[in-house]
Amino acid sequence: MNWNELAQRTKLDRLESGAIIQSQYPDFSVWSWGTGRYSEVLGGVRSGFDRGEVLLADYEYEHSRQMHAPTATGMLRGLTICIVKSSSLSLPYIFLRNEAPIQKMYKRALGKHDIYFASDPEFSDHFEVQGPEAEVHAIFRPEVRKYFLDNFKTSPLRLETHGDTIMIHYGVMINPEDSRMLLLSAVEIANLWAAQPVNFEIPSVYFFQPSN
């Protein structure tokens, strides 16, 4: 199934290939990945709700290029992103990613440190968190840290927040029919911090299954 078919089945709005969402959501680091010579939205879906919008999209960028390679596109990578924007959110810039404890130990040995939660070493061992330290400690309450451990302890989750918007992805592309859980997770994460609930109705599981 492609994104156009998913849009038709779920009644979500179609996001065209080549859509410029970087300028609408300019504060996320993913847009600066790679060589900077090529990046493109390959398609997706979006939908408004009472205080914002949700968006799912495939994003492709040029990951690397030989030093003297011609202008033809080099090695490409892609990922499926989910964005939730809501006027009920007011967040600093935060970057979070899952990281295995052995990776954390290696970085610490090199003198690289992220924000540490002394009262929650399990969370600190599994997640790298960057941002304004005092605000991060206030935002990542015990129940929030537990949510991330319960749901993403072994997944390659990446999360960024800025103002009224969050973005999550797993660093890879996901088939459109498998994207419901990415959308569900993004809405759940937004609701950890929203002043008022993000009342976006996730389309039925049926509509996220491959067509016969």
Percentage of the chain beyond pLDDT 70 is 87
pLDDT the model gives residue 105: 57
Mean pLDDT score, 16-37: 90
Mean pLDDT score, 9-26: 91
| Residue 110, C-beta contacts closer than 8 angstroms, at least 6 positions apart | none
88-132 per-position pLDDT tens digit: 999 999 999 997 655 655 555 455 568 999 999 999 988 999 999
Q: Please report whether residue 14 resides in a domain.
A: yes
Q: Please report whether residue 79 resides in a domain.
A: yes
Q: Please report whether residue 10 resides in a domain.
A: yes
**CA torsion through residues 8, 9, 11, 16, sign:** negative
pLDDT the model gives residue 71: 54
Q: Please report whether residue 187 resides in a domain.
A: no
- Distance CA(186)–CA(106), nearest Å, equals 30
Q: Please report whether residue 53 resides in a domain.
A: yes
pLDDT the model gives residue 101: 57
Between the CA of residue 58 and those of 21, 46, 74, 102, 105, what are the distances in Å?
11, 12, 18, 31, 33
pLDDT the model gives residue 64: 77
pLDDT at 66 over 70: no
Q: Confidence class of residue 67 from pLDDT cuts 50, 70 and 90?
A: low
Chain position carrying tokens 């939205």 = 41
- Distance CA(79)–CA(81), nearest Å, equals 6
Q: Please report whether residue 125 resides in a domain.
A: no
Give, for 98, the enclosing helix (H) or strand (E).
strand 91-98
pLDDT at 2 over 60: yes
pLDDT the model gives residue 50: 82
pLDDT the model gives residue 37: 82
Q: Please report whether residue 34 resides in a domain.
A: yes
Nearest Cα to Cα of residue 183 among 29, 30, 3, 42:
3
pTM score: 0.89
Phi, psi of 6 (to 5 degrees): -65, -40
- ∠ CA 81-23-14 to the nearest 5 degrees? 50
165-191 per-position pLDDT tens digit: 999 999 999 999 999 999 999 999 999
- Domain enclosing residue 52, as ranges: 1-85
Mean pLDDT of the chain: 88
Mean pLDDT score, 144-150: 97
Q: Please report whether residue 37 resides in a domain.
A: yes
- Distance CA(125)–CA(56), nearest Å, equals 30
Tokens representing 154? 């072994």
pLDDT the model gives residue 199: 87
Chain position carrying tokens 């996320």 = 28
HSE of 62, CA atoms in CB hemisphere, 13 A? 13
Please check whether residue 190 is in contact with residue 86, taking contact to mean a CB–CB distance below 8 angstroms: yes
Domain count, the chain: 1
